[in-house]
Each structure stands twice: as C-alpha cells, then as structure tokens.
A = this chain, B = another copy of it.
Amino acid sequence: MARKNAFYAQSGGVTAVINASACGVIETARAHKGEIGKVYAGRNGIIGALTEDLIDTGRESATAIAALRSTPSGAFGSCRFKLKSLDANRREYERLIAVFKAHNIGYFFYNGGGDSADTCFKVSQLSESMGYPLQAIHVPKTIDNDLPITDCCPGFGSVAKYVAVSTLEASFDVRSMAKTSTKVFVVEVMGRHAGWIAAAGGLASDHGIPVVILFPEIVFNEAKFLKRVDTLVKAHGFCTVVVSEGCHNADGSFLAEQGARDAFGHAQLGGAAPVVANMVKQALGHKFHWAVADYLQRSARHIASATDVKQAYELGRKAVELALAGHNAVMPTVERISDVPYKYRIGMAPLAKVANVEKFMPRDFITRDGFGITDKCRRYLTPLIQGEDYPKYKNGLPVYVTLKNVAVAKKLAAFELK
C-alpha cells in the first residue's frame, strides 16, 4: 500500500474535548509513519480543504500535540459551513477531491456532529465514483449528544458535568439566600432539539435540590410549570429551574427566539432564562436570579469529565485504526457494556446509518410530569460525568496550547466559496 497523507478537520460548535480527539488522531497517525505520511488539518474546518488552506501538523512538537488533550475549543479552527447536497453543489465535492488528490490525501477524518457525518459520507461516496478512493472516517463530536448508535458523544460528558456541578453549586447558593431574597434560580443551557444537557442538571436533585427541568422534548405548559415551581418553593423554600435553549411552546416557537439565524438557518437562541424567570416573578412574586451559561458550558475544560476526555481520545485513535484496517464511511462509537461498574468498548457504525438521524431523550428518561429525570436516565448519565481530568495551571490559569498552525504550500488555483 503506497503511503498516503491524512486530512483532519473540526466541524461545527467546538467542545472542551474535541482537541483530545485531534490528539488521538495525530498521535496515532504519528505512530504509523509507515502507512500514514503527513497529517494535514483544515484551517477552520472543511473550509480549509475547499480553499486549500491546509495546516501541516507535522510542524508541531510532540509536546504541543499532547497538550491538545487538555485544551478546549478547536485548535485548527472550526466552521459552520454545511456542504449542500451533491446535486445542488457538486462543484464543492469535486474541489475537495481535487485538493485531496493534489496533496496525496488518502484518509479523511472529519470530527463533528450529524451534519458533518452526512458530509463525510457523501465525500466517501463521491470519491469512489470519481475514481479517487478515499477512506472517510467520521469522528463523533457534539455536546448535544444527539448522534445515533453511539452510547454518547464526546463533548457531552464534560458539558453534563459542568451543568450538574454548576446547578448543584448555584442551588446551594439560592438555598442560603431564600429566606429573605432569591427563591428561584433559573439557568439556561444548550441543546436546541435534544434535552440531554438539561437532563444533567437533574443530577443535582440527588443532593436534596428541588430542580425543575424544561426539556425541548416536552412542549412548554406555563400553568403546569408555575404550579410545579410553586409546589417546590412551598416545600423547600426555593427551587432551581434548568431550561434548555430549545424549550418551546405548542406552536413550535422557542421561549428564547431572538430572530437571528445561524449559517445553517437555525434560529439563534439564548434568552429563555430571563423569559422563564420573569414568568415566575409575575405569577408567584418570587425574587429570582438567572444565568445563561452559553459558551462557558461547552468550553469548560477546567471541569471536564475524565470519562469524556478519555473517550474523545480513544475515538480519535480508533478512527485512525479503522482507516488502517481498510474501513471506509464509518464512525467509531462508544458501546456501553454496563452501567455499574461503567464498562464500554469502542465499536463502529456505518455512516449510512448515522447521517441525518437525531437521537432525542427517550420518554422514559423523563418523569411523567415532564419536569425531571428518571432513575433510568440517572443510570445513563452518571458514568459519563465520572472523574476529573484537570489541566495544568500556571499563575492561576490553565495552561492551554495555541498551535503554530503552519500553512502547507498551495498547489492549485484559488477556489471561490459561494
């Protein structure tokens, strides 16, 4: 087998551990220099491939690559750029193949969520039909935890840990203040369609905290919600509300809708917390506080789940191993063997079954009243937030690496993004 180069790119919203997957890919490729030559990374994700803006990761020291394991965000830059369908924009797919061909790239590692799994699959299909076979492996990543087949998605465990810890801590705060001041604390978390992240707030309820969760999977019912808050405040003197940014009314409108839309045409959300908090104030008169965690939650490497970091790395490593074993159009997955003690193995799923499938919270993970999580959900979530994987600190701040990101010389004519 002639030695080929590899291409790696980060896609979509970044996470606290996507660089751990990058670390797994690059370190494993470096350990197989006989089969894999250079590892090129796309500067700002797939845009880097389209514009032939490749980064030579070979210019980074082993120390710098190892430091990716404990550095949040996307070290090579990510992008929100969804390739259109093959019919609508064959030009972009052909360009990708041309760039891969020009740089002797035989392995395509795409690190992202559902949209990028779809892109990865299409690139694999097209490369074959164009006579330039490419091994396309998708490395799962999404804090939304909504990819199918895999037990969980790297990035989620760390957000879940952040949300569970923060909900617990802020709830202790409200409990202290409730006698004369704040009685209801509302924290807004991410999760546009699936309530996995919001569910993690429910883990605080194991510690005596009354928590109301507003899931995107459950249509918002103001009267029922206010009644639940009222009951809990009467019983405990306070309560905490964890509201998903994707919480919506019966007509589908988000509680938080701002009007702005992102590059994929999704509504840009943020602001459900003040809406909910004011609702409580108006109806029940309780003093409130609210927080919107936004990027803080998905970048919080300082409180990352050790389990999540480990899996992110292992899935990156496995992606390379799958490629070396000749696989194509697949994604390494986490296969859970047991909850307690937590055991799992790394498996594999065909991209044909991954692309364009979203995994929501099963109804039996949510309590009957729609405001809490069940024991089944707890058994699922608890292993994913296990362990702390602290970064090193210097002068009171974490030591996160910024790579040199040296560009590879271009070989092709410029390409205009449309």
**What residues of chain A have their CB less than 8 Å away from a CB belonging to chain B?**
10, 13-14, 16, 44-45, 47, 71-75, 77-81, 161, 164-166, 168-170, 172-182, 185, 187, 203-204, 206-208, 255, 257, 260, 262-264, 266, 268-271, 273-275, 277-279, 281-282, 287, 289-296, 298-303, 305, 382, 384-388, 390, 393, 395-398, 400, 402
- Pairs A-B, 10 closest by C-beta atoms: A385-B396, A74-B176, A73-B172, A291-B294, A44-B179, A169-B299, A173-B299, A170-B295, A79-B180, A268-B274
CA distance A208 to B405 in the complex (A): 15
Q: Is the CB of A296 within 8 A of B166?
A: yes
The contact of A299 among B47, B79, B170, B207, by CB within 8 Å, is: B170
Contact check, A292 vs B295: say whether CB atoms are below 8 A apart.
no
Nearest CB in chain B: distance from A245 CB, A: 11
Task: Report copies per complex.
Answer: 2
Cα–Cα, bound, A292→B272 (Å): 12
A274 to chain B: closest residue by CB: B268
24 residue pairs bridging A and B, Cβ less than 8 Å apart: A14-B176, A72-B169, A73-B176, A80-B180, A80-B181, A165-B397, A169-B301, A169-B398, A173-B295, A185-B295, A208-B402, A260-B271, A260-B281, A260-B287, A262-B274, A262-B287, A266-B278, A289-B295, A291-B291, A291-B295, A291-B296, A305-B396, A382-B396, A385-B396
User: Do B393 and A187 touch (CB < 8 A)?
Assistant: no
Give every chain B residue within 8 A of A294 (Cβ-Cβ).
170, 289-291
Q: Is the CB of B302 within 8 A of A165?
A: yes
If A10-B176, A14-B176 touch, does A290 touch B270 (CB 8 Å cutoff)?
yes
Contact yes or no, B382 A300, CB < 8 A: no
